[in-house]
């Protein structure tokens, strides 16, 4: 089967080589057929008669010459015997037209068999089997690709806390973005991975983003990340082989990083570890919350525990908010008292947002 596989794609060199081999085979076949031909039988009587006549004709002048002194001696006549030998030799060395056509046909079959060892049906069957084998080899054990997710995580740097777990899968890349409580990028200084043979990590040595890819299906490991001006490293657990894969995670580190955004209003320090704000920021509000109606598409609003939560990409100018949280892509969530009107700063202009449905 291996020889058939290697000959499936015929190159001009392979075809010429097959033709040369077939030509050699055809020559051998022709020689074999020639050797098998019956040799023509020479009529002995005719030969002997011709030979005897020639001998008598040669002897006659000699006798006459011997009987006549002084006469010139004639050379022997060898023309007749030589002509007979040439004719007999020519009859024994040729092939008939049918025999030559048979040899050419066999040579063509040999070239065709060497160049195309499999029939069309066999090629189709082989390709189908090869496709099934490759599909089965590359298939996921669960017969379905993992579910992609994009989420946010709050990093707890307190002693005794459980490090966040990053869900990975072989063949999928996960991006980690480190941001502070204001949503500003927190630059990475260095990182260290527990098992370099099991994970591939890329960092351009400037940004706040790490690209992680699992090399093996199930090898676990951990990752330590050092951030600029932060003494405590951020510890993470990497868990491959999951049915749900984190495509992107915003790692929210408590506090204000070196690139912290200035606060417009509210408390001096943002609520960086508020899980309720994080749920609204990820677009997964609590089940007990009530979705409210807003006057435009610039924002979303919910009522939860008698507080108003507004999710928007613009800054809230009024009323004063109680807590806020922002993502790396500029999305904000504000917690405030119930109000029918919210004033937003949209592209440098104040825009009113009416809230209804309390």
Residue-level pLDDT at 86:
39
Q: Are residues 206 and 338 in the same domain?
A: no
Q: Is the pLDDT of residue 76 over 50?
A: no
Q: What are phi and psi of 126, to 5 degrees?
A: -65, -45
Give the separation between CA 1 and CA 233, rounded to whole angstroms.
57
Question: Does 53 reside within a domain?
Answer: no
Interior angle at CA 142, CA 137 and CA 143, nearest 5: 60
Question: Does 305 reside within a domain?
Answer: yes
Residue-level pLDDT at 199:
95
Strand partners, 150: 248
Q: Are residues 297 and 350 in the same domain?
A: yes
Give the separation between CA 267 and CA 346, rounded to whole angstroms.
22
Q: Are residues 210 and 132 in the same domain?
A: no
8 A C-beta contact, residue 327 and residue 250: yes
What pLDDT band is residue 292 in, cutting at 50, 70 and 90? very high
> The tokens of 192 are what?
């260290």
Question: Does 168 reside within a domain?
Answer: yes
- What are the C-alpha distances in Å from 140 to residues 70, 112, 136, 208? 116, 42, 8, 32
Question: Does 200 reside within a domain?
Answer: yes
Which whole number is the average pLDDT over 244-267? 81
Instruction: Using the 3D structure, point to which of 112, 139, 166 is the last residue of a domain.
Output: 139
The pLDDT tens digits for 110-142 are: 888 888 888 888 888 888 888 888 887 777 666
* Chain mean pLDDT for the chain: 78
Interior angle at CA 11, CA 9 and CA 16, nearest 5: 130
Q: Are residues 183 and 110 in the same domain?
A: no
Which whole number is the average pLDDT over 5-10? 48
8 A C-beta contact, residue 185 and residue 206: no
Q: Are residues 8 and 114 in the same domain?
A: yes
**Structural domain containing residue 11:** 1-28+93-139
- Cα 257 to chain centroid distance, Å, stands at 41
- What are the C-alpha distances in Å from 156 to residues 27, 191, 234? 86, 18, 9
Where would I find the beta strands (DSSP E) of the chain?
147-154, 165-167, 173-179, 188-193, 199-202, 209-214, 221-227, 234-239, 244-252, 290-291, 293-294, 299-304, 307-312, 315-318, 323-326, 332-336, 341-346, 349-356
Which whole number is the average pLDDT over 60-64? 45
Question: Does 317 reside within a domain?
Answer: yes
Tell me which range, 192-196, 265-269, 278-282, is most confidently predicted by mean pLDDT: 192-196
Q: Are residues 120 and 206 in the same domain?
A: no
8 A C-beta contact, residue 210 and residue 203: yes
Q: Are residues 208 and 152 in the same domain?
A: yes
Question: Does 270 reside within a domain?
Answer: no
8 A C-beta contact, residue 126 and residue 118: yes
Q: Are residues 114 and 204 in the same domain?
A: no
Q: Are residues 171 and 297 in the same domain?
A: no
Q: Are residues 123 and 174 in the same domain?
A: no
Q: Are residues 204 and 328 in the same domain?
A: no
Question: Does 302 reside within a domain?
Answer: yes
Q: What are phi and psi of 178, to 5 degrees?
A: -100, 120
Residue-level pLDDT at 77:
46
The pLDDT tens digits for 324-352 are: 888 877 888 999 999 999 999 888 888 89
Residue-level pLDDT at 4:
42
Q: Is the pLDDT of residue 358 over 60?
A: yes
Between 244 and 70, where is the model more confident?
244
What is the count of structural domains for the chain? 3
> The tokens of 123 are what?
């090629």
Instruction: Using the 3D structure, point to which of 252, 285, 305 is the last residue of a domain.
Output: 252
Question: Does 221 reside within a domain?
Answer: yes
Between 271 and 153, where is the model more confident?
153
Q: Are residues 129 and 233 in the same domain?
A: no
């Amino acid at each position: 089967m291996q020889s058939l596989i290697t000959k499936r794609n015929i190159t001009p060199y392979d075809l010429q080589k097959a033709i040369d081999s077939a030509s050699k085979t055809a020559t051998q076949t022709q020689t074999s057929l020639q050797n098998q031909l019956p040799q023509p039988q020479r009529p002995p009587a005719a030969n002997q008669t011709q030979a005897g006549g020639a001998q008598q004709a040669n002897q006659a002048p000699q006798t006459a010459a011997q009987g006549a002194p002084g006469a010139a001696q004639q050379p022997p006549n060898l023309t007749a015997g030589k002509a007979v030998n040439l004719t007999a030799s020519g009859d024994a060395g040729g092939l008939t037209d049918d025999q030559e056509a048979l040899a050419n046909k066999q040579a063509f079959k040999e070239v065709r068999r060497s160049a195309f060892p499999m029939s069309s049906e066999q090629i189709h069957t082989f390709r189908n089997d090869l496709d099934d084998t490759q599909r089965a080899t590359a298939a996921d054990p669960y017969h379905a690709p993992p579910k992609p997710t994009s989420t946010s995580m709050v990093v707890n740097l307190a002693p005794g806390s459980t490090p966040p777990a990053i869900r990975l899968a072989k063949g999928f890349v996960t991006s980690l973005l480190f941001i502070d409580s204001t949503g500003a990028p927190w630059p990475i200084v260095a990182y260290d991975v527990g098992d370099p043979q099991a994970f591939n990590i890329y960092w351009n040595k400037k940004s706040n983003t790490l690209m992680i890819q699992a090399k093996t299906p199930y090898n676990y490991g951990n990752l330590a990340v050092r951030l600029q001006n932060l003494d405590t490293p951020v510890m993470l657990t990497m868990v491959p082989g999951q049915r749900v894969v984190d495509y992107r995670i915003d790692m929210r580190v408590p506090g204000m990083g070196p690139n912290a955004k200035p606060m417009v209003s509210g408390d001096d320090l943002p609520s960086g570890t508020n899980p309720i704000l994080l749920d609204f920021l990820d677009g997964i509000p609590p089940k007990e919350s009530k979705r409210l109606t807003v006057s435009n598409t610039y924002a979303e609003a919910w009522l939860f525990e008698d507080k108003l939560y507004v999710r928007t990409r613009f800054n809230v100018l009024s009323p004063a908010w109680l807590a806020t949280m922002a993502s790396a892509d500029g999305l904000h969530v504000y917690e405030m008292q119930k109000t029918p009107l919210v004033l937003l700063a949209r592209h440098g202009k104040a825009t009113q947002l009416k809230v209804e449905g309390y």
